[in-house]
Structure formats: C-alpha cells, structure tokens
Amino acid sequence: MTKQSTLKPFEKGDVFVGATLLNNADDDHAGDGRIIQYDADLNEKGIFWADDTTHLITGLKFDPDGNLWAFDSIAYKVVRIAPDGKRLPNVDFAQRSFSNCNFTPDGNVLLAEHLVGHEIKLPPNRPLGTTLSFMPGTERFGDGHVFKFTLDGECLQEFATKTYGGMPGFLGCTSSALAPDGKTLVYCSELSPHLCRYDIEADKQLDDLITYAPDSGDMSMTMVYQPDGSLLHIMANFRKGFFVQALDDAGNVTRTYEIEGTGWAGLGASIEPGIAFVGNFFTGSVIKLDLASGETLARAETNVERSLAGIAQYPG
C-alpha cells in the first residue's frame, strides 16, 4: 500500500475514527487500515494509513501519555500513534485477537480478546463474509479472555472473563470499559443479551450488570465511561432499533437516546461535559450527540459501510 498518511499533531478535542477502507473483494472485513482525524466539530483534518494491518481497525483509545491505541484483531496487530502523529514501534503483546483495551491505575494495560471458541454458528443462508483463523498452534479462534500487560509487552495476568459468543457464536470480549474504581471491568460479547462485569483486582467474575430475557431480542453492543464517571451503553434490537442508554451503577436505564436508523454500534467518550460521539457501523456515519437535549450537534461521513469500529477523542 502506498497511501500517504496526513495526520496532524494531535490537538485537544481532536476526534479519531477507525474506518478501514474495505477494498478486498474476497473479504468483507478486509482492506487498507485507516484512521480519520477530525476536529471537535467533526471537520476532517487528516488520515492515518496502516501498512501492516489486513482487516478492520477497532477499539481506539488514548493512554495516559496521549498515545492513540487501535487494533486489528485478525492480523494480531496493536497500532500505537504518538501525539505528534507518528506511529510508534510495534510491541509484540501476543498472537491473540485483541480488539480493545483499558489502562489500569498501576500503569499497565488490559487487552481484551475479540474471538472465542472454534465454531461459526451462523445459518447457511447467512455465510460469514470474512476469514477467521485459529490461533497459532491451536484449533480455536481464541478464549475471549482479558490479559494484563506491561506497556512493553510482558504478560502479567490472564483473566478468565466469561463470554457468550454473540449471534455468530465466536464473539468474545468485543468491547470493554474500566470503571472509575479502577478495578471493575464492564464488557460484553457483541450481539449477546449480557452486559458483564469482572473484578480484575480480586480476579473474579461478577454478576451481570444487565441480563436481557432471551426472547426479548435485546442485545448489548458496546459501552463507554464518560469522564464524569457516568456509563453509556448501546442496546440493539433488530425489531425495535438501536438505542444509546445512560445507566446507573445498578444497570438501570436513566435515559434513552433514540437516533434515527439502525447500526449505531460505536461509542466514544467526549472531554466536553454532556457530549458523546456515536458511530454507525452500517452506514459509516459518526455524530456528536448532546446528552442534555438529545440533539445531533455535528456529523461526519466516513463513506465506507460496515467499517466504523472505534471512536476516541484526544484529551490533550
């Protein structure tokens, strides 16, 4: 790939969106890895092109030093970009399908495994359009676990997080957020009826924050903690729609935001009070949502369907 990256040095409030250019005709999740840089009002500023990823770039998040992290769970790549817009050297964390991360108070990183199991459970009339490979030396896609690493790649601990496979049967810990207490990990297997919790300090599975009735059609998609400690969650129901929800500590819904259309499956916390960024996987749209009024304040189009898989705002 010869595309030239045009990222600008990060400025406080810049928004970064993972939007891989899906240009591989043989694989609907594969193509040239791309992260788009916007200002706080979603005006485009630059583009980062990865030269060593193969599939969707996901799970964007900033570490305490202001470096942007992103993932290709199929190519086993962890992409890191410094605030000057330059890519940092690769760290070999493990040959596992990491797709999202959280940074712990003790200066380490939790990497979550996107894939689990060894079976694809989609019906024959809905074949999988992408390639899944077994982990090297195994006959399984992954374990769906969370791993604690030092920032230079030393594995410190493995957490046996319970996962559910989601609708296709192979989705592990596809999204996660570390609570303000620094020890409670809230996570889900996308398209499953569970919003889960795990105590990484006690190394213990906790009761679900939310468990939907199996016949309700309600499914958990993703979640994010806002800087004020409040939790946002996307619940999907293919009969009813996709909804952004504000949750209290007991998992009760305190407010629901109805956004037109389906496919809203990405959340990014904002450094502005009362603001969140929401992305649509189906259409490639990303919006700046006012949590007080429920209005859309700004909108951008990545112009690639089924690609938008990570949003993060630079805290400065």
Helical (H) or strand (E) element with 147: strand 146-149
Note the pLDDT of residue 124: 86
* Cβ count within 10 A of residue 198: 24
Question: How many Cα atoms occupy the beta-carbon half-sphere of 264 within 13 Å?
Answer: 28
- Reported as a single tens digit per residue, the pLDDT across 90-125 is 999 999 999 999 999 999 999 999 999 999 999 888
For the domain covering 88-311, report its CATH number: 2.130.10.10
In angstroms, rounded to a whole number, what is the distance separating the alpha carbons of residues 302 and 96?
28
In angstroms, rounded to a whole number, what is the distance separating the alpha carbons of residues 156 and 25?
40
First to last CA, the chain: 31
Note the pLDDT of residue 2: 63
Give the percent of the chain with pLDDT over 70.
Answer: 99
Confidence of residue 140 (pLDDT cuts 50, 70, 90): very high
174 burial level (CB within 10 Å; 0-12, 13-18, 19+): buried
Amino acid identity at 309: A
In angstroms, rounded to a whole number, what is the distance separating the alpha carbons of residues 54 and 30?
6
Edge to edge, what strands does the sheet with 264-269 contain? 264-269, 275-280, 285-290, 296-301
In angstroms, rounded to a whole number, what is the distance separating the alpha carbons of residues 262 and 102?
27
Say if CB 70 and CB 88 are below 8 A apart. Answer: no
Instruction: Give me the chain's average pLDDT, please.
Output: 97
- Reported as a single tens digit per residue, the pLDDT across 204-257 is 999 999 999 989 999 999 999 999 999 999 999 999 999 999 999 999 999 999
pTM of the full predicted structure? 0.97
In angstroms, rounded to a whole number, what is the distance separating the alpha carbons of residues 120 and 18?
25
- Reported as a single tens digit per residue, the pLDDT across 273-286 is 999 999 999 999 99
In angstroms, rounded to a whole number, what is the distance separating the alpha carbons of residues 236 and 221?
7
Domain definitions of the chain by residue range: 88-311
Confidence of residue 21 (pLDDT cuts 50, 70, 90): very high
Decide which of 110 and 258 is more confident: 110
91 burial level (CB within 10 Å; 0-12, 13-18, 19+): middle
Confidence of residue 136 (pLDDT cuts 50, 70, 90): very high
Question: How many Cα atoms occupy the beta-carbon half-sphere of 26 within 13 Å?
Answer: 2
Confidence of residue 63 (pLDDT cuts 50, 70, 90): very high
50 SS3 class: coil
